[in-house]
Copies of this chain bind each other. A is one copy, B any other.
């Protein structure tokens, strides 16, 4: 009996490019094997079903020597959109599930076809949404946004709230939890979030610059715990959240957090350093497609290793126009300092959120006063810069 759900007409495909390490003599066979691995996962000659052969098996679209000095071949596959079930986790599965276990394969690119974009939720708020949430009017010389982190983990709710008050009083736009601050017993989510949110609201009265200040606590744990955390977020009037998509799982990001948080989402790259997925694709494009309104990435010249080209590509993919998908705010971070503000704004323009964490706290003789002074200097430097919107 033919399955009524199966249309026999043309079926949309989506296109991904992989770099394969293989010799010229083997590359055609290796590319075909990858196409099978990432679609039907069995020998083609054992497939009798015509629908599967025609519409489900991935095709090798092209094979080209990798450009420049790179070794290997760039192989473009056409995968069947229906295999993704239009679900974010299953998209990752079809893109890089089994071949994540094959070290000769890197995932370079996933093309934003209109059919694929239609199946992705994208940011609910996007860059304009951040400006609205912060009460910053558009048009009148948009400026870059400022962000800092509450740290270190191990402090109790009141200590973190005190730190947040310093930052809020200095005029920082977004104050996020360190991504390591989860739901530990020394700062349980509900008590911490209530204390920090109240401190931020009180300190906002002294805010030296226009606009509001937002606190973004880290969401973590399984679905029931997340749902409880989202209840706290709503109950306390919290206006942003932070998540680690590769730890939480992107299906949960899309279905629970993006759908129900009701506030902008910052994605953190913890556990996302899979060396064989292009960082720009994962942090810039996919996190955006899965609902991140802002995406933190390790900026060049800090504690991490991405070069300037990778960082530019992340910012470009986060912000490029895409039908029906709002732009996400790039957030360069990872050992940045107040001294690098001008350079970063020159690099990224004004549609960016600069995140400086430990540098605001640095120094053996740090006091509350000196921390607030450094945060205020950060804010002044960002506000004073005249940078074009990119």
Stretch at the interface among A80-88, A125-133, A138-146, A339-347: A80-88
Residues of B contacting A98 in the complex (Cβ-Cβ under 8 angstroms)? 179, 270
Q: A3-B157, A154-B56, A186-B3 are in contact. Are A223 and B269 (CB under 8 A)?
A: no
Q: A41-B152, A92-B247 are in contact. Are A223 and B223 (CB under 8 A)?
A: yes
Partner of A249, one of B43, B56, B83, B252: B252
**What is the total number of residues of chain A having a CB less than 8 Å from a CB of chain B?**
99
Contact status A247-B247, CB under 8 Å: no
Residue A155, interface by CB 8 Å: yes
Residues of B contacting A57 in the complex (Cβ-Cβ under 8 angstroms)? 152
* Minimum CB–CB distance for A335 against chain B, Å: 10
Contact status B100-A272, CB under 8 Å: yes
Contact status A362-B3, CB under 8 Å: no
Contact status B56-A244, CB under 8 Å: no
Contact status A42-B152, CB under 8 Å: yes
Contact status B97-A271, CB under 8 Å: yes
Residue A197, interface by CB 8 Å: no
* Minimum CB–CB distance for A298 against chain B, Å: 5
Partner of A220, one of B1, B188, B226, B251: B251
Q: A39-B180, A220-B251 are in contact. Are A97 and B244 (CB under 8 A)?
A: yes
Per-residue CB contact flags for chain A residues 227-257 toward chain B (1 = under 8 Å, else 0) read 0000000000000000010011111101110
Interface SS of chain A: loop
Residues of A12-39 whose CB lies within 8 A of B:
33, 37, 39
C-alpha spacing A184/B85, complex, angstroms: 4
Residue A5, interface by CB 8 Å: yes
C-alpha spacing A84/B83, complex, angstroms: 36
Residue A9, interface by CB 8 Å: no
C-alpha spacing A1/B156, complex, angstroms: 10
Contact status B96-A256, CB under 8 Å: no
Contact status A251-B251, CB under 8 Å: no
Residue A303, interface by CB 8 Å: yes
Per-residue CB contact flags for chain A residues 259-293 toward chain B (1 = under 8 Å, else 0) read 00000000001111111100000000000000000
Contact status A275-B103, CB under 8 Å: yes
* Minimum CB–CB distance for A264 against chain B, Å: 19
Q: A45, A100, A151, A180 — which one has the most chain B CB atoms within 10 A of its CB?
A: A180
Contact status B52-A221, CB under 8 Å: no
19 pairs of residues in contact across A and B, judged by CB atoms under 8 Å: A5-B185, A5-B188, A6-B185, A40-B154, A41-B178, A41-B180, A45-B363, A49-B159, A51-B186, A56-B152, A87-B225, A90-B221, A92-B247, A93-B244, A93-B271, A101-B305, A102-B304, A222-B256, A248-B249
Residues of A within 8 A of B (CB): 1-3, 5-6, 33, 37, 39-43, 45-49, 51-52, 55-57, 80, 82-85, 87, 89-90, 92-94, 96-104, 151-159, 178-180, 182-188, 220-226, 244, 247-252, 254-256, 269-276, 298, 303-306, 334, 357-358, 361-364, 366
Q: A55-B154, A90-B183, A90-B220 are in contact. List 19 more A-B contacts (CB 8 A).
A: A1-B158, A6-B186, A41-B180, A42-B151, A85-B184, A87-B183, A90-B247, A93-B270, A93-B271, A96-B271, A97-B180, A100-B272, A101-B273, A103-B305, A104-B305, A222-B254, A223-B256, A225-B251, A248-B252
